[in-house]
């Protein structure tokens, strides 16, 4: 019985460590994929916001498509929140910003001025995610 405990306890501790480690730290490849995903979402949001600002989109399409993009950005932000490294946290902040911008875009209705601002901000966020990806 003591022998089983002697083997089982360190094994359980090791498994716990591995499991926590797996949740807490994102590898370089996973981080790069997240960065590319955020860059893509921000760029797509910027394109959508630009079309909306120029009256080239419908209100419903802008609202619904921006929500799809927002949900993906938030999912990415949640993954990065516990990413471990400082780069993951910086990327997480960019994902947060993209998610918030897309939320505002989805609620922008026919506010052309706001849509123009969001077009610009999302383009900057896209560039920031791209820079972070290159620095990995």
Partner 1 sequence: MKQFLQIALGILSAIGGFVDIGDLVFNTQAGATFGFELLWVVVIGVIGIIVYSEMCGRVAAASKRPVFDLVRERVGFGAGLSTLIASEVVNLLTCAAEIGGVAIVLQLLSGLPYRFLILLGVIGLVVISWVLPFEWLERLFGYVGLCLLVFAVAAIKVHPHWGGVAHGFVPGVSSGNRLVYMYFVVGLLGAALTPYEVYFYSSGAVEDAWGLKDLRINKITSIIGYGLGAFLSFSLMIVAAVLFLPRGIDPQFLGTPALGAEAALGKIGLVLALVGILFAVGGAAIETSFSGAYNLAQFFGWQWGKRHRPSGAPRFALSWLVMFVLAAGIVMTGYDPVKITEYSVIFSVVALPLTFLPILLVANDPAYMGSNRNGRFSNVIGIVYFVLILAIAVSAIPLMILTNGGQG
Is the Cβ of residue 1 or residue 30 nearer to partner 1 in the bound state?
Answer: 30
* Both structure tokens of 97: 């910003």
Q: Contact between 55 and partner 1 (CB under 8 A)? A: yes
Q: Report the chain's terminal Cα–Cα distance, integer Å.
A: 49
**Which long-range contacts does 77-84 make (Cβ < 8 Å, 24+ apart)?**
79/26, 79/34, 80/26, 80/34, 82/23, 82/24, 83/24, 83/25, 83/26, 83/31, 83/34, 84/24, 84/25, 84/26
Q: Contact between 48 and partner 1 (CB under 8 A)? A: yes
Distance of alpha carbon 73 from alpha carbon 41, whole angstroms: 7
Residues between 15 and 34 that touch partner 1 (CB under 8 A): 33
Q: Contact between 77 and partner 1 (CB under 8 A)? A: no
Among 44, 96, 101, 119, binds partner 1 (CB under 8 A): 44
- Location of structure tokens 């797509």: 44
Q: Contact between 115 and partner 1 (CB under 8 A)? A: no
Is the Cβ of residue 6 or residue 54 nearer to partner 1 in the bound state?
Answer: 54
Q: Contact between 130 and partner 1 (CB under 8 A)? A: yes
Q: Contact between 69 and partner 1 (CB under 8 A)? A: yes
Under the rule (CB under 8 A), what is the footprint of partner 1?
A: 33, 36-37, 39-40, 43-44, 46-48, 51, 55-58, 60-61, 63-65, 68-69, 72, 126, 130
């Amino acid at each position: 019985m003591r022998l089983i405990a002697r083997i089982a306890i360190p094994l359980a501790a090791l498994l716990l460590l591995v499991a926590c480690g797996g949740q807490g730290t994102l590898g370089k490849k996973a981080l790069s994929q997240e960065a590319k995903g955020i860059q893509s979402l921000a760029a797509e949001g910027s394109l959508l916001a630009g079309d909306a600002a120029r009256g080239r989109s419908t209100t419903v399409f802008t609202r619904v498509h921006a929500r799809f993009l927002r949900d993906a950005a938030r999912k990415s932000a949640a993954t990065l929140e516990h990413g471990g490294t400082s780069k993951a946290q910086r990327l997480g902040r960019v994902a947060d910003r993209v998610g918030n911008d897309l939320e505002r875009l989805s609620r922008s209705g026919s506010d052309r001025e706001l849509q123009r601002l969001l077009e610009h901000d999302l383009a900057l966020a896209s560039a920031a995610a791209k820079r972070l990806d290159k620095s990995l």
